[in-house]
């Protein structure tokens, strides 16, 4: 047996950069022994767009569209996370209405993110039905985004200090219809996969990671919770009035693909609950803060009121000084702790802005998770980690 | 955990190497000399009662006007007590070398590669220090302040009119 191993030849397989199963543009060079993975090396950076450099020349409110393109499956979380960071630097205190509106949008974004990720795990294990079924629901969330912000994928949601407009009655109606309908879809989706023998055989024990290794690798979000560590930024450091709500943080035990699937699935239910609670208890009040030096005035006011015109001019031309300082703010993104490290020297643009992208950080554990497994399991592991190319490469 | 407790303990162990501490910001910030950065991070991670066992973020920063222009910023998190700390260290452009922390945190691997890629900071002892997001044959470090974002020879755009 041993002398056969001596002159064994391994196969090198390029998985990606443009392979449908990688769900994005990144390459894995796998060393295979038959079907078993011996080693893997990742190459990333194919869609690097130098956001951090671009941000150093952009005024604060123009950085929001850059954050859209990080985790594009849940853009509103990125947008609102950025707004919260700037508000922390400026010392702006938002009203409860803004907070609740943000929670609604962020949880809707989490729902789309998890729906996409979980249904894609189904696709990669050979069950296309669920994917097509839940994509219809994602479409409904995009319609809500469209009603609230005017855009669908890259939402550019809200502004520093609130929103550009209040929820329209149609938006509220659409949100309500969505959360009333989603549970039915989730039940059916879970019937398709959750206790499906084939699905369980394909996912249980696949791509596992221990809680200790996951922490060492900087895992956050559902991937960390699947490994049994109950760290959630929404609970640990509540932002945007998340502490007004009660919700459960689901945790797994094995840290494998099935646990990641189950954690996300449970979080979907919690998000539905959060959206419903926030919508039912949506307080009266203003949808933006009274901070004219940072909040762009409405266009009608710019054309008809002198003060608004002056503020508009001052904001757009960068005449407003921001405080000198540095802040780190993080929010619970769709796939982990999304952090913003912002250094301001008082100028119009950030002196330094660094995005802590959860996907970039936990994707480096991928080789460790797939080593020893088979090729088809590697595909499943990748889709269950929810690696999103836009976030990976920033 | 009080800020003073942490700074006192750090002062006791790394007396002269703790250059500055700032408690006024959002997170307790400590600036240390570059040779001891690994020891400080290990001290924060492994000492009982400190237990900063989660490296949230590691990134570079460039202050072209300072004596030690290139910096590395670490954000550590004590998950059991929900306490964050920011540790900074600065090096010169001519010798931008600091010890790696990849032996303490596996997650530092790509973070340090990214910092090297954009700022040219060399992490001694890193297992695989090469560019990660940029192309391999790039011969400069793009996030340093001397590399402007836009083509400086352009004449049709004057930044002075845009408050920059």
Interval A98-125 mean pLDDT: 93
Do B73 and A337 lie within an 8 Å CB cutoff?
Answer: no
Cα–Cα distance, B110 to B129 (Å, whole number)? 9
Interval B5-14 mean pLDDT: 89
For residue B26, the distance in angstroms to the closest alpha carbon of chain A comes to 6
For B71-128, what is each residue's pLDDT tens digit? 999 999 999 999 999 999 999 999 999 999 999 999 999 999 999 999 999 999 999 9
Do B25 and A48 lie within an 8 Å CB cutoff?
Answer: no
Q: CA-nearest residue of chain B to A330? A: B56
For A196-209, what is each residue's pLDDT tens digit? 999 999 999 999 99
**Average pLDDT, rounded, for chain B:** 89
ipTM of the complex: 0.92
**Close Cβ partners of A342 (under 8 Å, ≥ 6 residues apart):** A85, A86, A89, A326, A327, A328, A329, A350, A352, A353
Tell me the two tokens of residue A204: 């249980």
A16, A36, B99, B157 from A124: Cα distances, Å: 15, 18, 41, 49
CB atoms within 10 A of CB A322: 20
In the CATH hierarchy, which fold is given to the domain comprising A60-393? Answer: Cytochrome-c3 Hydrogenase; chain B (1.10.645)
**Average pLDDT, rounded, for chain A:** 91
Specify whether the CB–CB gap between B121 and B91 falls below 8 A: yes
> Is the CB of residue B149 less than 8 Å away from at least one CB of chain A?
yes
A261, A264, B129 from A190: Cα distances, Å: 10, 12, 44
Which chain A residues have any C-beta within 8 angstroms of a chain B C-beta?
Answer: 44-45, 48, 50, 52-54, 56-57, 88, 213, 215-218, 229, 231, 236-237, 317-319, 325-330, 337, 339, 341, 343, 348-349, 352, 354, 356, 360-361, 363-365, 393-394
- From first CA to last CA, the distance across chain B in angstroms is 42
List, in sequence order, every beta strand (DSSP E) within A34-135.
36-43
For A313-355, what is each residue's pLDDT tens digit? 888 887 888 899 999 999 999 999 999 999 999 888 899 999 9
For residue A154, the distance in angstroms to the closest alpha carbon of chain B comes to 23
Cα–Cα distance, B91 to A368 (Å, whole number)? 33
Does residue A2 register a pLDDT over 90? no
Q: Which residues of B touch A87 (CB under 8 A)?
A: none
DSSP H helical ranges for chain B? 3-13, 37-46, 108-119
Domain boundaries, chain A: 2-43, 60-393
Which of B59, B77, B1, B52 is closest to A351 using CA atoms? B59
Does residue A1 register a pLDDT over 50? no
> Is the CB of residue B54 less than 8 Å away from at least one CB of chain A?
yes
Cα angle A257-A261-A267, degrees, rounded to a multiple of 5: 145
Does residue A60 register a pLDDT over 80? yes
Q: Which residues of B touch A237 (CB under 8 A)?
A: 82
Least CB-CB distance to A215: which of B54, B135, B142?
B54
Cα–Cα distance, A342 to A20 (Å, whole number)? 36
Does residue A271 register a pLDDT over 90? yes
Q: Based on the number of CB atoms within 10 Å of its own CB, is A103 exposed (0-12), middle (13-18) or buried (19 or more)?
A: buried
Tell me the two tokens of residue B39: 């020891």
What are the phi and psi torsion angles at A375 (to 5°)? -60, -45
Question: What is the separation of C-alpha A63 from the centre of its chain, rounded to a whole number of angstroms?
Answer: 17
**Close Cβ partners of A180 (under 8 Å, ≥ 6 residues apart):** none
State the pLDDT at residue B162.
Answer: 57
Q: Which residues of A touch B57 (CB under 8 A)?
A: 328, 339, 341, 354, 356
Interval A137-166 mean pLDDT: 92
Do B79 and A48 lie within an 8 Å CB cutoff?
Answer: no
Residue in the structure block whose two tokens are 């900087």: A218
Interval B54-82 mean pLDDT: 93
Q: Which residues of B touch A44 (CB under 8 A)?
A: 132-133
For residue B16, the distance in angstroms to the closest alpha carbon of chain A comes to 25
Does residue A358 register a pLDDT over 50? yes
Do A44 and B133 lie within an 8 Å CB cutoff?
Answer: yes
> Is the CB of residue B110 less than 8 Å away from at least one CB of chain A?
yes
Least CB-CB distance to B82: which of A237, A349, A363?
A237
A–B interface: beta-carbon pairs under 8 A: 95
Q: What are the structural domains, with CATH classification, of chain B?
A: 3-153 (3.30.460.80)
Does residue A18 register a pLDDT over 90? no
Q: Which of A59, A86, A326, A349 to mutate to test the interface with B (most CBs of B within 10 A)?
A: A326
Tell me the two tokens of residue A126: 């050979």
What percent of chain B is modeled with pLDDT above 90?
A: 63
Per DSSP, A157 falls in state -
Peptide bond connecting B38 to the previous residue in cis, omega within 30 degrees of 0: no
Q: What pTM value is reported for the model?
A: 0.93
């Amino acid at each position: 047996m041993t002398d056969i191993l001596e002159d064994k030849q391994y196969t090198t397989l390029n998985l990606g950069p443009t392979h449908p199963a990688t769900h994005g543009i990144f390459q894995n060079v796998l060393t295979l022994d038959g079907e078993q993975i011996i080693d893997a090396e990742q190459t990333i950076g194919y869609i690097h767009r130098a956001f951090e450099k671009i941000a150093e020349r952009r005024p604060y409110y123009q950085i929001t569209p850059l954050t859209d393109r990080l985790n594009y499956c849940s853009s509103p979380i990125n947008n609102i996370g950025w707004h919260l960071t700037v508000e922390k630097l400026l010392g702006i205190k938002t009203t409860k209405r803004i907070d609740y509106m943000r929670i609604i949008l962020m949880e809707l974004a989490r729902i789309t993110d998890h729906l996409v990720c979980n249904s894609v795990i189904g696709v990669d294990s050979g069950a296309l039905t669920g994917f097509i079924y839940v994509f219809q629901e994602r479409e409904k969330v995009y319609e809500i985004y469209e009603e609230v912000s005017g855009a669908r994928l890259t939402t550019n949601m809200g502004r520093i200090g609130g929103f550009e407009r209040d929820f329209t009655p149609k938006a509220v109606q659409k949100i309500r219809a969505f959360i009333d309908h989603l549970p039915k879809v989730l039940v059916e989706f879970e019937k398709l996969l959750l206790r499906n023998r084939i699905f369980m055989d394909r996912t249980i024990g696949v791509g596992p990671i221990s809680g200790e290794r996951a922490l060492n690798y900087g895992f956050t979000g559902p991937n960390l919770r699947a490994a049994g560590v109950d760290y959630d930024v929404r609970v640990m450091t509540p932002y945007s009035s998340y502490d007004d709500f009660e919700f459960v943080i689901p945790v797994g035990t094995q840290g494998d693909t099935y646990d990641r699937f189950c954690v996300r699935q449970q979080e979907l239910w919690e998000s539905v609950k959060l959206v419903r609670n926030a919508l039912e208890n949506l307080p009266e009040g203003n949808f933006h803060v009274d901070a004219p030096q940072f909040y762009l005035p409405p266009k009608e006011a710019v054309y008809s009121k002198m003060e608004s015109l002056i503020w508009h001019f001052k904001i757009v031309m960068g005449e407003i000084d921001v405080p000198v300082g540095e802040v780190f703010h993080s929010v619970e993104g769709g796939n982990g702790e999304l952090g913003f490290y912002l250094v301001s020297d008082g100028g119009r643009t950030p002196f330094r802005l660094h995005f802590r992208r959860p996907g970039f950080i936990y994707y480096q554990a991928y080789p460790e998770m797939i080593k020893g497994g088979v090729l088809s399991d590697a595909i499943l592991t990748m889709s269950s980690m929810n690696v999103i190319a836009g976030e990976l490469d920033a | 955990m009080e800020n003073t407790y942490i700074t006192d303990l750090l002062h006791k162990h790394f007396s002269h190497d703790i250059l500055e501490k700032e408690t006024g910001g959002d997170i307790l910030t400590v600036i240390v000399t570059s040779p001891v950065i690994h020891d400080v991070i290990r001290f924060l991670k492994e000492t009982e009662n400190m237990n900063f066992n989660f490296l949230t973020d590691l990134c570079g920063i460039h202050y072209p006007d300072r004596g030690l222009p290139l910096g590395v910023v670490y954000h550590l998190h004590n998950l059991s007590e929900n306490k964050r700390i920011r540790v900074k260290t600065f090096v010169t452009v001519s010798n931008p070398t600091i010890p790696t922390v990849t032996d303490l945190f596996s997650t530092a691997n790509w973070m340090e590669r990214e910092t090297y890629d954009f700022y040219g900071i060399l992490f001694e002892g890193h297992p695989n220090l090469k560019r990660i997001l940029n192309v391999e044959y790039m011969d400069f470090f793009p996030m340093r302040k001397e590399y402007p974002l836009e083509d400086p020879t352009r004449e049709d755009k004057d930044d002075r009119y845009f408050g920059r």
